[in-house]
Amino acid sequence: MTDVPEEGQQRRTFFKIGMAAIGGLIGLAMAIPLVGFAISPAFRKASKKWVDLGIADLLKGSRYKKINYTFSAKDGWVETNKRRSVYVTDQGDGTFQVYSRVCSHLGCLVRWDEGKDQFFCPCHGAVFDSAGNVVAGPPPRPMDKLPVKVEDGILYVKES
């Protein structure tokens, strides 16, 4: 058995620690992009998209016409089909107004009452006028009006 001088052992230990530290840094540098790639969808905001509501000419003269539709949306890693319901009304000047049926109180679906010319929410009795403003009940704000556009004769609504 040979005796290694103490100075040589210290140098060998220092070398081992240095190599482990360099290896750790290289591993960390390689892992950060992979972890970022794996978890980034959770932090990405869902992008809004335009959804086809139908042929604009066929909706001319519509007065609070209920339209149900589905669209696919990516939320994090998962892409799902979502169902929505809106009221479409022709403003008479070539533009349309689209009201979300989701009540601004707690999310029940509002209904258009043609006879009373107002929206009604069956859950807690909210009443909105024909412009979506709160007339009665607990909602803290008016009904949501969704962005719309007509392109190539098709009426689109913007969904998130």
Residues at the interface with ligand FES (CB under 6 A): 103, 105-108, 121, 123-124, 126, 137-139
Least distance (Å) from ligand FES to the CB of residue 125?
6
Least distance (Å) from ligand FES to the CB of residue 131?
17
Least distance (Å) from ligand FES to the CB of residue 134?
10
Residue in the structure block whose two tokens are 């040979």: 2
Nearer to ligand FES, 54 or 137 (CB): 137
Least distance (Å) from ligand FES to the CB of residue 66?
17
Angle at 61 between CA 123 and CA 52, to 5 degrees: 70
Nearer to ligand FES, 56 or 146 (CB): 146
- Separation CA 105–CA 75 (nearest Å): 24
From 84, 85, 54, select the one nearest 72 (Cα to Cα). Answer: 84
3-state DSSP assignment of residue 84: strand
- Separation CA 60–CA 39 (nearest Å): 46
